[in-house]
Amino acid sequence: MLTPTPTLRKTLAQKLIAQACARTDVAVGEIVTCDVDLAMFHDSSGPRRLKPMLEQLRAPLWDTSKIVLVIDHYVPEADDESRRIVRIARDWAKEQSLPNVYDSVGICHVVLPEHGHLRPGMFCVGGDSHSPTGGAFGAYMFGIGSTEMLGVAVSGQIWIKVPETLRMEWRGRLAAGVTAKDMMLHMIGRFGMNGGRYQAVEFCGEAVAALSMQERMTLSNMSAEMGAQAGLIAPDSVTLDYLREVGVSDEIDLARWQGDADAPAETHRFDAATLAPQIAAPHSPANTRDVDAFEDIAVQVAYIGACTGAKLDDLRAAAAVLRNRRVAAGVQLVVAPASVRDREAARSEGVMAILEDAGAEFLATSCGACSGYGGQIPENSTVISSTARNFKGRMGAETAKVYLGSPYTVAASALRGRITDPRKVLS
């Protein structure tokens, strides 16, 4: 009598990849070819690079309904080169009759989900390194370069090596003034920028389940800073509520997209209740320690922007600190909301008025200084920023020293003129 083969226990990453390659199971280390459900690129990574290659190949797009173009990097156009790049994107979108184009309405990683393009079970690629944001919705999404995107744009497929899973389990609950950004900086500080080692990182536990969708997006987004290919969170009722709010009416089988609890994975455990606000010192997100290690650092610029730091939840956090207060003399508080949708929601709630009364200067809903465009960061300045990266010159000014923190921490630091634990201000 034959011994029954034991049922393979699968991680969420394995389930998503198996679905994409029409298989029942996939093994870690196996190379498979997957069908792509959605390809996203922006004005910097997309048409200006893809258009000449497609013309040289004389190849059509595989499925325009599965392509999303977001114009967010070079807008508003500040010079002739920006105008040229944006014009290429707009003209190409018209030539190809692309049905999903979002022009100057926000940052791609925020615009994509708020227009209902991401759902659990999808397999997606993006022409940007922070494309793992899609993993917050139980989708397998990762960033690729222009040459790989060319292959996807023509064939609708891409090969992938099935990764191991690195499971980050957070028990307890975050204290007031501590956020997903602090969780992520702490993990990057512990594991380094190559901590993911081509793995899929899966975030789980009570603290993760308690996060809003926008906070979960920050976790998945910054899995890129750990070197991971994907940053996954299993979908639940919070996911479903968000999707219904943005107009997704499809039937969604939440139970299907849960990793098996006993699937093989390297697991690390953290206590959210004991986590302090985190700061990453120049010039790496891995240079992270508790905020009290930096409280003698004076700042000249406080920047609230980017896909990890200027969503509606982030703007609300900054307003909670700055309500009925003014930023310190000599500090420039700059706010660039992540999307028009979030900006208008913040305006209707009175959040924008609070920030304005505190002395904030507002920029367009685009990538802006996070990707070094716009010149908002002066040379030789010390900056506290809610962005994801603080590499030398990343925000445009080569001589600037950029510290990373949560929107709470950025706002508190603007208030006092030096890096500040937001819990001291909130209390």
Which residue, among 137, 108, 111, has the nearest Cα to 123 in the 3D structure? 137
Using pLDDT thresholds of 50, 70 and 90, give the confidence band for residue 393: low
pLDDT given for residue 308 in this prediction: 92
Q: What percent of the chain has pLDDT over 90?
A: 88
Integer Cα distance of 304 and 327 in angstroms: 13
3, pLDDT greater than 60: no
235, pLDDT greater than 60: yes
Torsion sign (Cα): 378, 381, 383, 389: positive
Domain map of the chain by residue range? 9-253+263-275, 278-426
Integer Cα distance of 328 and 154 in angstroms: 53
Inter-residue contact 239 to 208 (CB < 8 Å): no
Edge-to-edge strands of the sheet including 382-385?
Answer: 288-290, 278-280, 401-404, 382-385, 301-305, 332-336, 361-362
pLDDT given for residue 399 in this prediction: 84
- Per CATH, which fold does 278-426 belong to? Aconitase; domain 3 (3.30.499)
SS3 (DSSP) at 357: helix
pLDDT given for residue 371 in this prediction: 72
What mean pLDDT comes out for the span 268-288? 97
What mean pLDDT comes out for the span 51-63? 95
pLDDT given for residue 375 in this prediction: 60
**Do 9-253+263-275 and 278-426 agree at the fold level?**
yes
Integer Cα distance of 2 and 133 in angstroms: 45
Complete DSSP assignment for 53-87: HHHHHT---S-GGGEEEEE-SS-S--SHHHHHHHH
CATH class of 9-253+263-275: alpha beta
Return the exposure string of 156-175: e unless at least 16 CB atoms fall within 10 Å of the residue's CB, then b. bebebebbbbbbbbbeeebe
pLDDT given for residue 13 in this prediction: 98
Task: Tell me the pTM.
Answer: 0.95
Inter-residue contact 277 to 420 (CB < 8 Å): no
199-215, pLDDT tens digit by residue? 999 999 999 999 999 99
373, pLDDT greater than 80: no
